Chain A
Amino acid sequence: MTEQAMQKPHAPEEYDEEFEAQDKGPLSRWVSFTVDEEIYALNVLDVQEVLRDAEITPIPGAPDSILGIINLRGNVVTVVDARIFFGLEEKKYDENSRVMVIEVASGEIVGLVVDSVAEVIAFPESVVDQAMMSVNDDRARHILGIVPQDEKLIILVDMKSLSDITAT
């Protein structure tokens, strides 16, 4: 876990304490991001860092879902387009776009390009557990659960299955 990931502008430290004070039990933190108007969230522990500017070098001949590679402090990291992964239209990398650096099931570090990264949200674990029970869809194994928040739905995802993206 790197420092950057924790320093989300909308996630001040006191936020947690507020929650603890309300006595809702242990919290789990999620990084929320948007892809095509939908709000998703990845467990904070799965996100290594979030990159603002990334120069993506395309790989000729790679599958459409793979945008290319980036230089992450001397390491070459493959970058995947979340839109294609979710089966959506392509969109050009713009000023709101971010690369979320995550570890996938194979242990490989992968960059996931999303439309924007919003904030770190803390949910009581009980809420998350409940959300996870309600989703049972084999076709979308990356979806862990859905949590309603401020009249919106936040889709909790697990991107570990990204490692299968080229296997199919």
Chain B
Amino acid sequence: MAFDPDNELLQDFLIEAGELLNGLDEQLIELEQSPDDADRLNSVFRAFHTIKGGAGFLEVHPLVEICHGAEDTFNLLRNHEIGMNSRIMDVMLQVIDSLNGMFDQLRAGEYPEAVSPAFLKEIEALARPEAAAPAAAQAEPEPKQSAPAADTPVATEDDAFDRMLADLDAAEEGASPAPAQASNAGDDDLITDDEFENLLDELHGKGQFQTPQASPDQASPEAEKAASSAADSDEITDEEFEAVLDELYGKGKSPTSGGESEAAPASDAPPKSASQPQAAAKAAPKAAAGPEKKAEPAAKPKSPEAHKPPVETTVRVDTERLDSIMNLVGELVLVRNRMNTLKSTFENEEISSVIATLDMVTSDLQGAVMKTRMQPVKKVFGRFPRVVRDTARTLGKEVNLELEGEDTDLDKNLVEALADPLIHLVRNAVDHGIEMPDAREQAGKPRAGTVLLSAAQEGDHIRLSIRDDGSGMDAEVLRRKGVDKGIVDPDAAERLTDQECFELILHPGFSTKEQISDISGRGVGMDVVKTAITKLSGTISIDSSMGEGTQINIKVPLTLAILPTLMVIVSGRKYAVPLSVVNEIFEMADKEVNVVDGQATITVRDRAVPLFRMTDWLGLRGEPPGQRSETDQVVMVQHGAQLMALVVDSVIGQEEVVIKPLGELLRIVEGFAGATITGDGHIALILDLPGMVRRNAGRGQQRLRSVA
């Protein structure tokens, strides 16, 4: 069976349930930290429940099955019938993974594959009291009030209900497993005594059967009373029956009412299902707690929030639409820039003031539109507790993850693009940064390491940092390694600062994994991280001190669509240098150029900085090699930890530009991040410094004569 991917209900379900699913990961990890957090248990339960409801409506049975098992388990957990343990957690995380897989299949328009029966059994086993704490049996009679009412219509609907029924019957009979009850217990008349015994055992846990037995005459009358007051099958009205069903399962689940409530999109279903399980949760402990509280079971449970669903204040907008708005605003910004350029030629005060207003409004509009694309960085951070937990568990380490600044807003595209590099870095921090617990103890540190992930806005940039309190990196080892790998020559290696040594790990071909990981350092693939960050016109820097830990800082612009740049002129054409890499600008005229090691350098504040002529770097066809002129200006740029001086003909000034990507045909050309249309309607290429450096790597020798 295939799905029509355009099915609106399916799409709604995928979005809604997908969000729930994303949240589940995080919530589960938090639960592991504080297993008794009742709110969280409830919310996890609700999430599974809602997903199950939706899946049931769409008849995606594999999803229903797995959610059902998870839901059962959390029902027991939140009722304190079983305790949270790492086994449950592991299985639940696997459940999330399977669910994610199924969602992917659904998104692709396929009918998801069912999970293996063994896995289902495993999930179900969790919900069985034997697997859990002895307390389980006490609360098991929870479904008493509803079961008689539910008898025929729903009994066959799902096995959980069967179990409840069986349980109810057993309880009503004062827990004596008389054969007569066997026929009531399920809808299967052929059940044998032994089977019934087993069933009871399963339900109550072997040793736990005494609880109801201890006071059979007390318990069963109460149960009967409760049952008759709330839901006796003879007297119950349809409404009451519905109410009880709802209370137990949440609206979505009951087969009679399920249809319309689940069909209702996003806004409708979640509030309902959110409140219902709560109600059930309240009712359940009461049932177990004592007779006097049983009198008010059906009436009270509905929480007040259920009656006033929150007013909708949000609209879901297709990101494509946002992107097109963003593009239009980009065009508007360009027009505004052109207007600004023209303003001086008018010399008319009125026009000037109108243009100034336009300028302001455009800026505001730009800001406002940009805000609509902003998402809290939480969206990425949310995945990390799981990543850290899994990595730490695999490695046998103890790691605490701290998150800071989760509410920092950041462009949606950035949020997505940052996810993978960050996961890589965090995993690295746990893998290579944090030491084994014993080693930490020996070093006088707490057994559990800490990884701090923080985000903060700094002007028009976002700074993300990953800090661990692990062993740190050894600059000397990295230096040696860099020489061994032929990344730096020995002379150059000697001159590298510690920080530059750390940044060697970002170099492609510097896979340190096997040799260095036991001493310190990060592994394979850091160059991939670097490439990803660079693509976002971000920068990455590493700081580390032996024995104290490592901090990796990532700076990315707030948004990708608009880029602050420095406009320069080279060979009569405008080029835009991203402001993020520009350190300073000065006149070339009075600077002395030295040739060190075959490389033209210039001394800036007692520091030798390699000097490159942009004309030569660009190497435009038919363009003569650049000559030194009095009016040359130098733009100091930062390439990783390396400062470079670029000689340009002149500097125009700062301009915010809209990046227009270059076509596919130009993909093979390195060194440009795109193009932009300048205020006067011309095109300026946007420099991509890392690409340009790559392109010119190893070409330093021939050029220096023209510079010097």
Q: In this complex, what residue of B is CB-closest to A55?
A: B682
Query: CB within 8 Å of A: which of B652-708?
Result: 660-672, 674-675, 677, 681-685, 695
Complex Cα spacing A89 to B621, Å:
16
B668 touches A74 (CB 8 A): no
Q: Which residues of the partner chain B approach A109 to less than 8 Å between Cβ atoms?
A: 663
A58 contacts partner chain B, Cβ-Cβ < 8 Å: yes
Cross-chain contact of A163 among B665, B669, B677, B682 (Cβ < 8 A): B665
Report how far A155 CA is from B674 CA in the complex, Å.
Answer: 36
Flag whether B371 is at the interface (Cβ < 8 A): no
Binds B, one of A6-14, A32-40, A60-68, A138-146: A60-68
The answer on a CB contact under 8 Å between A76 and B683 is yes
Distance in Å from the Cβ of B657 to the closest Cβ of chain A? 12
**Other-chain contact of A66, B665, B675, B684 (Cβ < 8 Å):** B665
Contact B664 A106 (CB under 8 A): yes
In the complex, per-residue mask of A44-58: 1 if CB is within 8 Å of any chain B CB, else 0 = 000000000001011
Contacts of B670 in A (CB 8 A): 61
Interface string of B206-229 (1 = CB under 8 A from A): 000000000000000000000000
Say whether, besides A71-B681, A74-B677, A77-B663, A61 and B331 are in contact (CB < 8 Å). no
Per DSSP, are chain B's interface residues mostly helix, strand or loop, or mixed?
mixed
CB neighbours (8 Å) of B619 from chain A are: 60-61
Contacting pair B668 A166 (CB below 8 A): yes
Contacts of B677 in A (CB 8 A): 71, 74, 76
| Residue pair A74, B664 in contact (C-beta under 8 Å) | no
Known contacts A62-B666, A70-B683, A165-B665; A76 and B660 CB within 8 A of each other = yes
Tell me the complex Cα distance, A165–B681, Å: 28
B544 CB to closest chain A CB (Å) equals 36
Q: Is A97 an interface residue (CB 8 A)?
A: no
Interface membership of A69, Cβ < 8 A: yes
Using a Cβ cutoff of 8 Å, how many contacts connect chains A and B? 78
Task: Tell me, rounded to whole Å, the shortest Cβ–Cβ distance linking B329 to chain A.
Answer: 12
Contacts A66-B666, A70-B683, A71-B683 given: A58-B620 contact, CB under 8 Å?
yes
Name the A residues within 8 Å of B672 (CB-CB): 59
How many angstroms between the C-alpha atoms of A80 and B663 in the bound complex? 12
Asked whether B618 is an interface residue with its Cβ less than 8 Å from the other chain, the reply is yes
Q: Is A110 an interface residue (CB 8 A)?
A: yes
Question: Hey, which chain A residues are within 8 Å of B681, CB to CB?
Answer: 71
| CA gap between A22 and B672 in the complex, in Å | 55
Q: How far is the CB of A46 from chain B (nearest CB, A)?
A: 17
Q: How far is the CA of A58 from the CA of B572 in the complex (A)?
A: 12
Chain B residues within 8 Å of A59, by CB = 662, 666, 669, 672, 685
Tell yes or no: A108 within 8 A of B by CB. Answer: yes
Count chain A CB atoms within 10 A of each CB in B331, B620, B662, B663 and give the residue with the most: B663
Question: What is the minimal beta-carbon distance from B529 to any residue of chain A, in angstroms?
Answer: 26
- Chain B CB within 10 Å — which of A57, A60, A75, A162 has the most? A60
Report the minimal beta-carbon distance from B597 to chain A, rounded to whole angstroms.
26
A60 to B668 Cα, complex, angstroms: 12
A80 contact set on B, CB distance < 8 A: 665
Residues from chain A with Cβ under 8 Å of B695 in the complex: 61
Scan residues 606-643 of chain B and give those whose CB is less than 8 A from a CB of chain A.
Answer: 618-621
Known contacts: A57-B573, A59-B672, A61-B695. The answer to whether A71 contacts B682 by CB under 8 A is yes
Residues of A within 8 A of B667 (CB): 166
A67 to B684, alpha carbons, bound, how many Å?
15
Residues of B within 8 A of A71 (CB): 677, 681-683
Q: Report yes or no: A75 in contact with B665, Cβ–Cβ below 8 A.
A: no
Against B, the Cβ 8 Å flags (1 = close, 0 = not) of A98-141 are: 00000000101110000000000000000000000000000000
Interface size on B, residues (CB 8 A): 29
Most buried by A among B573, B621, B666: B666
State the CA gap A163–B663 with chains docked (Å).
10
Query: Contacts A61-B618, A69-B675; is A78 near B662 (CB within 8 Å)?
Result: yes
Cβ distance B445 to chain A, nearest Cβ, rounded Å? 51
Residue B334, interface by CB 8 Å: yes
Task: Name the B residues within 8 Å of A108 (CB-CB).
Answer: 663-665
| Residues of B close to A74: CB separation below 8 A | 331, 334, 660, 677
Which residues from chain A contact B618 at a C-beta distance below 8 Å?
A: 60-61
Residues of B within 8 A of A64 (CB): 621
Q: Point out the residues of chain B lying under 8 angstroms from A75, CB to CB.
A: 660
B699: shortest Cβ distance to chain A, in Å? 12
Bound CA span A132–B473, Å: 67
Q: Looking across the interface, which residue of chain A has its beta carbon closest to that of B617?
A: A60
| CB of A129, distance to nearest CB on chain B (Å) | 31
Near B by CB (< 8 A), chain A positions 152-166 give 162-163, 165-166
Kindly report which residue of chain B lies nearest to residue A64, judged by CB atoms: B621
- Count chain A CB atoms within 10 A of each CB in B573, B683, B695 and give the residue with the most: B683
Contact with A along B471-503 (1 / 0, CB 8 A): 000000000000000000000000000000000
Q: Report if A63-B660 is in contact (Cβ < 8 Å); known contacts: A57-B682, A76-B675.
A: no
User: Which residue of chain B has the shortest Cβ distance to A165 in the bound complex?
Assistant: B665
Contact A166/B665 with A60-B671, A61-B671, A76-B675 known, Cβ cut-off 8 Å? yes
Give min CB distance, A108 to chain B, whole Å: 5
- Which A-chain residue is minimally distant from B570 (CB atoms)? A60
A58 → chain B closest CB, angstroms: 6
Closest chain A residue, CB of each to CB of B676:
A76
Complex: A166 Cα to B672 Cα, angstroms: 16
Q: A62-B669, A63-B668, A71-B683 are in contact. Are A110 and B663 (CB under 8 A)?
A: yes
Can you offer 28 A-B residue contacts whose CB atoms are under 8 A?
A: A57-B573, A57-B684, A57-B685, A58-B621, A59-B669, A59-B672, A60-B618, A60-B619, A61-B618, A61-B669, A61-B671, A63-B668, A69-B666, A74-B677, A75-B660, A76-B660, A76-B661, A76-B662, A76-B663, A76-B674, A76-B675, A76-B683, A78-B666, A109-B663, A110-B663, A163-B664, A163-B665, A165-B665
Report A's interface with B, CB cutoff 8 A. 55, 57-64, 66, 69-71, 74-78, 80, 106, 108-110, 162-163, 165-166
Known: A61-B670, A76-B674. 16 other contacts (CB 8 A): A55-B683, A57-B675, A57-B684, A59-B666, A60-B685, A61-B619, A61-B695, A62-B669, A63-B668, A69-B662, A74-B331, A74-B334, A76-B660, A78-B662, A80-B665, A166-B665
State the 9 A-B residue pairs at the shortest beta-carbon distance, nearest first: A60-B618, A78-B663, A57-B683, A76-B660, A60-B620, A78-B665, A76-B675, A62-B669, A108-B664
